[in-house]
Amino acid sequence: MTDAPPTARPRLGFVGLGNIGGPMAGSLAVWPGGLSVFDLSGDAVAKVVEKGADAADSLAGLAEKSDIIGICVLDDDQVRSVVTGADGLLSTARPGTIITVHSTIGPDTAVDLAEQCAAREVTLLDAPISGGSMGAASGRLAIMVGGPREAYQKLKEPFALTADMIVHAGDVGAGTKMKLARNLLHFISFTATTEAARLAEAAGLDIGKLGKVVRHSDAVTGGPGAIMLRDTTAPVDTDDPWYGILTGVRTLGEKDLSLALALADELDVDLPLGRIALRDLAAGLGVPHAEGDNT
Protein backbone atom coordinates (compact mmCIF):
# COMPACT_ATOMS: atom_id res chain seq x y z
CA MET A 1 0.00 0.00 0.00
CA THR A 2 1.38 3.42 -0.95
CA ASP A 3 1.19 6.43 1.32
CA ALA A 4 -1.54 8.96 0.60
CA PRO A 5 -0.24 12.12 -1.08
CA PRO A 6 0.18 15.09 1.27
CA THR A 7 -2.69 17.56 1.44
CA ALA A 8 -2.03 20.51 -0.87
CA ARG A 9 -1.14 23.68 1.00
CA PRO A 10 -3.18 26.78 0.11
CA ARG A 11 -1.38 29.38 -1.94
CA LEU A 12 -1.19 32.77 -0.28
CA GLY A 13 -1.49 36.25 -1.72
CA PHE A 14 -0.74 39.56 -0.04
CA VAL A 15 -1.61 43.13 -1.02
CA GLY A 16 0.00 46.15 0.64
CA LEU A 17 3.67 45.95 1.62
CA GLY A 18 4.13 48.96 3.88
CA ASN A 19 5.64 49.18 7.35
CA ILE A 20 3.44 46.36 8.67
CA GLY A 21 2.32 44.54 5.52
CA GLY A 22 5.89 44.25 4.23
CA PRO A 23 7.23 42.37 7.26
CA MET A 24 4.07 40.25 7.41
CA ALA A 25 4.49 39.21 3.80
CA GLY A 26 8.20 38.66 4.38
CA SER A 27 7.38 36.12 7.10
CA LEU A 28 4.76 34.45 4.92
CA ALA A 29 7.18 34.13 1.99
CA VAL A 30 8.52 30.84 3.37
CA TRP A 31 5.06 29.22 3.38
CA PRO A 32 5.34 25.88 1.49
CA GLY A 33 2.24 26.61 -0.60
CA GLY A 34 3.84 29.76 -2.01
CA LEU A 35 3.11 33.48 -1.81
CA SER A 36 2.29 36.10 -4.44
CA VAL A 37 2.46 39.80 -3.57
CA PHE A 38 1.25 43.07 -5.04
CA ASP A 39 2.05 46.68 -4.20
CA LEU A 40 2.39 49.89 -6.17
CA SER A 41 5.95 50.25 -4.83
CA GLY A 42 8.40 48.19 -6.84
CA ASP A 43 11.00 48.48 -4.09
CA ALA A 44 8.57 47.07 -1.51
CA VAL A 45 7.74 44.15 -3.79
CA ALA A 46 11.42 43.45 -4.47
CA LYS A 47 12.17 43.11 -0.74
CA VAL A 48 9.59 40.35 -0.35
CA VAL A 49 10.51 38.66 -3.62
CA GLU A 50 14.06 38.37 -2.27
CA LYS A 51 12.64 36.28 0.55
CA GLY A 52 10.92 33.84 -1.80
CA ALA A 53 7.64 35.41 -2.91
CA ASP A 54 6.42 35.86 -6.48
CA ALA A 55 5.46 39.29 -7.80
CA ALA A 56 1.96 39.59 -9.28
CA ASP A 57 1.50 42.11 -12.05
CA SER A 58 -2.03 43.08 -10.93
CA LEU A 59 -4.63 42.48 -8.26
CA ALA A 60 -6.61 40.35 -10.66
CA GLY A 61 -3.51 38.32 -11.49
CA LEU A 62 -2.79 37.75 -7.81
CA ALA A 63 -6.35 36.63 -7.07
CA GLU A 64 -6.35 34.16 -9.97
CA LYS A 65 -3.75 31.96 -8.29
CA SER A 66 -4.31 32.59 -4.57
CA ASP A 67 -6.44 30.69 -2.07
CA ILE A 68 -5.98 33.01 0.93
CA ILE A 69 -5.32 36.71 0.30
CA GLY A 70 -4.25 39.20 2.96
CA ILE A 71 -4.80 42.94 2.59
CA CYS A 72 -2.86 45.55 4.58
CA VAL A 73 -3.53 48.95 3.01
CA LEU A 74 -4.32 52.37 4.46
CA ASP A 75 -8.07 52.77 4.98
CA ASP A 76 -11.63 51.78 4.07
CA ASP A 77 -11.52 53.36 0.61
CA GLN A 78 -8.33 51.54 -0.32
CA VAL A 79 -9.68 48.23 0.97
CA ARG A 80 -12.86 48.67 -1.07
CA SER A 81 -10.83 49.49 -4.16
CA VAL A 82 -8.60 46.44 -3.72
CA VAL A 83 -11.54 44.09 -3.22
CA THR A 84 -14.34 45.39 -5.45
CA GLY A 85 -12.70 47.93 -7.77
CA ALA A 86 -12.25 47.44 -11.48
CA ASP A 87 -9.76 44.57 -11.91
CA GLY A 88 -9.80 44.11 -8.12
CA LEU A 89 -9.58 40.82 -6.31
CA LEU A 90 -13.23 39.90 -6.84
CA SER A 91 -12.85 40.20 -10.60
CA THR A 92 -10.95 36.90 -10.72
CA ALA A 93 -11.14 35.32 -7.25
CA ARG A 94 -12.30 31.69 -7.44
CA PRO A 95 -15.15 30.32 -5.30
CA GLY A 96 -13.74 29.24 -1.95
CA THR A 97 -11.11 32.00 -1.83
CA ILE A 98 -10.62 33.61 1.58
CA ILE A 99 -9.78 37.32 1.81
CA THR A 100 -8.44 38.65 5.11
CA VAL A 101 -8.47 42.40 5.76
CA HIS A 102 -5.69 43.36 8.18
CA SER A 103 -6.26 47.11 7.82
CA THR A 104 -8.23 48.79 10.60
CA ILE A 105 -11.51 49.71 8.91
CA GLY A 106 -15.07 50.38 10.03
CA PRO A 107 -17.07 47.31 11.10
CA ASP A 108 -19.82 48.23 8.63
CA THR A 109 -17.29 48.28 5.80
CA ALA A 110 -16.24 44.74 6.69
CA VAL A 111 -19.86 43.52 6.78
CA ASP A 112 -20.70 45.18 3.46
CA LEU A 113 -17.63 43.79 1.70
CA ALA A 114 -18.26 40.33 3.16
CA GLU A 115 -21.78 40.37 1.68
CA GLN A 116 -20.46 41.36 -1.74
CA CYS A 117 -17.82 38.65 -1.57
CA ALA A 118 -20.34 36.02 -0.45
CA ALA A 119 -22.33 36.68 -3.64
CA ARG A 120 -19.25 35.40 -5.51
CA GLU A 121 -18.75 32.46 -3.07
CA VAL A 122 -15.71 34.21 -1.62
CA THR A 123 -15.28 34.61 2.16
CA LEU A 124 -14.05 37.93 3.53
CA LEU A 125 -12.80 38.11 7.11
CA ASP A 126 -11.89 41.25 8.99
CA ALA A 127 -8.59 40.37 10.67
CA PRO A 128 -6.99 43.52 12.11
CA ILE A 129 -3.66 43.23 13.84
CA SER A 130 -2.03 44.47 17.01
CA GLY A 131 1.70 44.74 17.58
CA GLY A 132 2.69 47.31 14.97
CA SER A 133 5.76 47.15 12.79
CA MET A 134 7.85 45.69 15.63
CA GLY A 135 5.43 42.80 16.08
CA ALA A 136 5.29 42.26 12.33
CA ALA A 137 9.09 42.18 12.05
CA SER A 138 9.44 39.69 14.90
CA GLY A 139 6.49 37.45 13.95
CA ARG A 140 4.70 38.35 17.19
CA LEU A 141 1.51 39.98 15.96
CA ALA A 142 -1.91 39.39 17.45
CA ILE A 143 -4.61 38.89 14.80
CA MET A 144 -8.29 39.33 15.70
CA VAL A 145 -10.52 37.52 13.20
CA GLY A 146 -14.18 38.19 12.48
CA GLY A 147 -16.08 35.78 10.25
CA PRO A 148 -16.96 32.09 9.85
CA ARG A 149 -15.00 29.88 12.23
CA GLU A 150 -14.30 27.36 9.46
CA ALA A 151 -12.45 30.02 7.46
CA TYR A 152 -10.64 31.21 10.60
CA GLN A 153 -9.35 27.68 11.18
CA LYS A 154 -7.78 27.68 7.70
CA LEU A 155 -5.72 30.77 8.57
CA LYS A 156 -4.12 29.42 11.72
CA GLU A 157 -1.31 27.37 10.20
CA PRO A 158 0.00 29.82 7.58
CA PHE A 159 -0.52 32.94 9.70
CA ALA A 160 1.37 31.38 12.59
CA LEU A 161 4.43 32.46 10.59
CA THR A 162 3.67 36.11 11.31
CA ALA A 163 1.55 36.04 14.48
CA ASP A 164 1.90 34.20 17.77
CA MET A 165 -1.70 34.98 18.77
CA ILE A 166 -4.68 34.44 16.46
CA VAL A 167 -8.12 34.74 18.05
CA HIS A 168 -11.62 34.24 16.67
CA ALA A 169 -13.53 37.34 17.79
CA GLY A 170 -16.92 36.38 16.35
CA ASP A 171 -18.91 37.21 13.23
CA VAL A 172 -17.68 39.53 10.47
CA GLY A 173 -16.99 42.93 11.99
CA ALA A 174 -16.14 41.53 15.42
CA GLY A 175 -12.41 41.52 14.70
CA THR A 176 -12.52 45.22 13.92
CA LYS A 177 -14.60 45.97 17.02
CA MET A 178 -12.06 44.13 19.16
CA LYS A 179 -9.22 46.09 17.55
CA LEU A 180 -11.01 49.40 18.21
CA ALA A 181 -11.50 48.50 21.87
CA ARG A 182 -7.86 47.47 22.14
CA ASN A 183 -6.68 50.72 20.55
CA LEU A 184 -9.01 52.78 22.76
CA LEU A 185 -6.99 51.47 25.69
CA HIS A 186 -3.75 52.00 23.80
CA PHE A 187 -4.20 55.66 23.04
CA ILE A 188 -5.90 56.62 26.29
CA SER A 189 -2.89 55.02 27.97
CA PHE A 190 -0.61 57.12 25.77
CA THR A 191 -2.48 60.25 26.84
CA ALA A 192 -2.21 59.19 30.49
CA THR A 193 1.49 58.68 29.92
CA THR A 194 1.84 62.32 28.91
CA GLU A 195 0.16 63.32 32.19
CA ALA A 196 2.60 61.16 34.18
CA ALA A 197 5.51 62.70 32.27
CA ARG A 198 4.31 66.24 33.03
CA LEU A 199 3.99 65.42 36.71
CA ALA A 200 7.46 63.83 36.79
CA GLU A 201 9.00 66.76 34.92
CA ALA A 202 7.41 69.30 37.25
CA ALA A 203 8.77 67.31 40.19
CA GLY A 204 12.28 67.50 38.73
CA LEU A 205 12.49 63.81 37.85
CA ASP A 206 14.24 62.14 34.91
CA ILE A 207 11.41 61.17 32.53
CA GLY A 208 13.61 58.62 30.75
CA LYS A 209 14.28 56.78 34.00
CA LEU A 210 10.56 56.84 34.82
CA GLY A 211 9.92 55.27 31.42
CA LYS A 212 12.35 52.45 32.21
CA VAL A 213 10.55 51.78 35.48
CA VAL A 214 7.16 51.74 33.72
CA ARG A 215 8.33 49.31 31.04
CA HIS A 216 9.94 47.06 33.64
CA SER A 217 6.94 46.88 35.95
CA ASP A 218 4.43 46.47 33.08
CA ALA A 219 6.48 43.54 31.78
CA VAL A 220 6.13 41.93 35.21
CA THR A 221 2.50 42.78 35.99
CA GLY A 222 1.01 42.78 32.49
CA GLY A 223 0.13 46.48 32.46
CA PRO A 224 -3.48 47.68 32.01
CA GLY A 225 -4.56 44.37 30.47
CA ALA A 226 -3.84 42.63 33.76
CA ILE A 227 -7.20 43.70 35.21
CA MET A 228 -9.18 42.23 32.29
CA LEU A 229 -9.84 39.18 34.41
CA ARG A 230 -13.58 38.64 34.04
CA ASP A 231 -16.01 38.05 31.17
CA THR A 232 -18.33 40.91 32.17
CA THR A 233 -18.17 44.52 33.29
CA ALA A 234 -21.13 44.14 35.65
CA PRO A 235 -20.71 44.89 39.38
CA VAL A 236 -18.92 42.10 41.21
CA ASP A 237 -20.92 40.13 43.77
CA THR A 238 -19.44 40.15 47.24
CA ASP A 239 -19.17 36.34 47.18
CA ASP A 240 -17.31 36.37 43.85
CA PRO A 241 -13.62 35.33 44.26
CA TRP A 242 -12.63 38.45 42.30
CA TYR A 243 -14.36 40.78 44.76
CA GLY A 244 -11.52 40.79 47.27
CA ILE A 245 -8.88 41.15 44.55
CA LEU A 246 -10.57 44.04 42.77
CA THR A 247 -11.46 45.76 46.03
CA GLY A 248 -7.77 45.69 46.85
CA VAL A 249 -6.95 47.18 43.45
CA ARG A 250 -9.57 49.88 44.06
CA THR A 251 -8.21 50.76 47.49
CA LEU A 252 -4.60 50.93 46.36
CA GLY A 253 -5.50 52.79 43.17
CA GLU A 254 -7.57 55.43 44.91
CA LYS A 255 -4.84 56.00 47.50
CA ASP A 256 -2.11 56.41 44.89
CA LEU A 257 -4.25 58.53 42.58
CA SER A 258 -5.13 60.83 45.50
CA LEU A 259 -1.47 61.24 46.39
CA ALA A 260 -0.51 61.92 42.76
CA LEU A 261 -3.27 64.52 42.40
CA ALA A 262 -2.21 66.20 45.64
CA LEU A 263 1.33 66.44 44.28
CA ALA A 264 -0.05 67.81 41.00
CA ASP A 265 -1.96 70.51 42.90
CA GLU A 266 1.20 71.43 44.79
CA LEU A 267 3.16 71.70 41.52
CA ASP A 268 0.29 73.35 39.58
CA VAL A 269 0.08 70.50 37.02
CA ASP A 270 -3.30 69.78 35.41
CA LEU A 271 -4.10 66.04 35.31
CA PRO A 272 -7.63 65.71 33.86
CA LEU A 273 -7.34 61.98 33.15
CA GLY A 274 -6.01 61.42 36.65
CA ARG A 275 -9.10 63.08 38.14
CA ILE A 276 -11.41 61.04 35.91
CA ALA A 277 -9.55 57.89 36.95
CA LEU A 278 -10.03 58.65 40.64
CA ARG A 279 -13.72 59.35 40.06
CA ASP A 280 -14.43 56.27 37.92
CA LEU A 281 -11.98 53.57 39.05
CA ALA A 282 -14.24 51.89 41.58
CA ALA A 283 -17.29 51.67 39.32
CA GLY A 284 -15.15 50.63 36.37
CA LEU A 285 -13.65 47.76 38.33
CA GLY A 286 -17.12 46.61 39.31
CA VAL A 287 -16.63 47.31 43.03
CA PRO A 288 -18.27 50.73 43.53
CA HIS A 289 -18.44 52.26 46.98
CA ALA A 290 -21.63 51.91 48.97
CA GLU A 291 -23.79 55.02 49.11
CA GLY A 292 -22.28 57.44 51.60
CA ASP A 293 -18.95 55.59 51.68
CA ASN A 294 -16.25 58.15 50.95
CA THR A 295 -13.26 55.93 51.77
Is 51 an active-site residue? no
Sequence-distant (≥ 6) Cβ neighbours of residue 125 within 8 angstroms: 98, 99, 100, 101, 114, 145, 146, 147, 148, 151, 152, 155, 172, 175
Of 2, 259, 26, 3, the C-alpha closest to 137 is 26
* Helical (H) or strand (E) element with 36: strand 35-38
Note whether 290 and 225 are within 8 A (CB).
no
18: exposed, middle or buried (Cβ count in 10 Å: 0-12, 13-18, 19+): middle
* Helical (H) or strand (E) element with 208: helix 207-221
Of 113, 106, 111, the C-alpha closest to 90 is 113
Q: Which of 179, 209, 212, 255 is catalytic?
A: 179
What are the catalytic residues? 179
